Amino acid sequence: MPTYCYVTDDGQVDEIVAPIGEAPKTIKINGVEAHRDFRAENVGVPAPGGWPMTCVASGVHPADAGKLRQHLADKGVPTDVTRDGDPVYRDAAHRRRALKARGMFDKTDYR
């Protein structure tokens, strides 16, 4: 089931999971009405800002940032990693190679 994003006028954010076509137009977050945030729901790859892309989803604990950087370099896919442990992918091909080097894949990559 898809995830739907909601935001209040004062910036509170929440997500719900609902069957397709059954997501409400509004929900309450801490007693405040929140409306669907269609823009947040339609973020994809590449990120709206384009490449390079910092990927939080494939990141590691900040204490392991150096280990991830070294692991990827050892696998032949040198990759910048932020202090927070998030890899920075230069383009879609680099992202695919880096994920593969870690035994990961993106089911929505369509390849």
Q: How many domains are contained in the chain?
A: 2
Residue 12: predicted pLDDT: 87
Q: Cis omega (within 30 of 0) on the bond before 46?
A: yes
59 and 94 together in one domain = yes
As a whole number, mean pLDDT of residues 81-106 equals 92
How far apart are the C-alpha atoms of 108 and 111, rounded to whole Å?
8
pLDDT at 10 over 90: no
Given a cut of 80, whether residue 111 has pLDDT beyond it is no
Q: Which residues pair with 26 in a beta bridge?
A: 35
Residue-level pLDDT at 47: 52
Instruction: State the pLDDT at residue 21.
Output: 87
User: What tokens does 100 get?
Assistant: 């593969």
Quick: pLDDT tens for 36-65: 988 878 765 555 567 888 898 899 999 999
Residues 30 and 68 in one domain: no
Question: Can you name the residues that pair with 86 across neighbouring β-strands?
Answer: none
Residue 71 pLDDT level (bands cut at 50, 70, 90) = very high
Give the position of tokens 């384009």: 50
Same domain, 94 and 60: yes
- Residue 83 domain boundaries: 53-101
